[in-house]
Amino acid sequence: MSNPVKMTLVFIFLFTWTGQSVFAQANELIVNVRNIDESKGIVYVALYDSKENYLKRDTFSQKTNAVKGNVQLVFSGLPFGEYAISAIHDANENKELDKNFLGIPSEGFGFCDGKMGTFGPPSFDKVKIIWNGGIKTIVVPLKYF
């Protein structure tokens, strides 16, 4: 047996034996948060896996420093399922979305694909995605009042 053939067989054996696949598919949900109005504070992105948890307790979340314009956060290795996606720009870094006396957000916020509710946030079903792996990019434009 020639040396290249032996190396190929060893390579295949090692990856089969360790349970790794040479052809493993990337598993990344990329969230592009757009329209950030200033480079101050933190941008949070949250994923919710159920109606019961939606906007109460995130299943997965990430944060990054706010940069005027756009930021990108990548969620890797997510389990398959349904996820609603929201983002906030916490300009004063108090770890919450501030609101005025009428309950209207005074900091930037947004949902998957820019969807909004009529009076209040959109429903879980309106902003959910079906996650089956691969590489998928979602846009969350922020809105400021």
Beta-sheet pairing, 42-48 with 81-90:
antiparallel
Whether the Cβ atoms of residue 89 and residue 108 lie closer than 8 Å to each other: yes
In 10 A of CB 99, how many CB atoms?
13
The CATH classification number of 24-141 equals 2.60.40
Instruction: List pLDDT tens digits, range 58-108.
Output: 999 999 999 999 999 999 999 999 999 999 999 999 999 999 999 999 999
Count CB-CB contacts under 10 A for residue 78. Answer: 17
What is the pTM (predicted TM-score) of this model?
Answer: 0.81
Contact 83, 49 (CB under 8 A): yes
Q: What pLDDT, in 10s, does the model give residues 131-140?
A: 999 999 999 9
User: Could you tell me which residue, 101 or 7, shows the higher pLDDT?
Assistant: 101
Domain ranges of the chain: 24-141
Residues whose CB falls within 8 Å of the CB of residue 141, separated by 6 or more in sequence, listed in order: 33, 34, 35, 110, 114
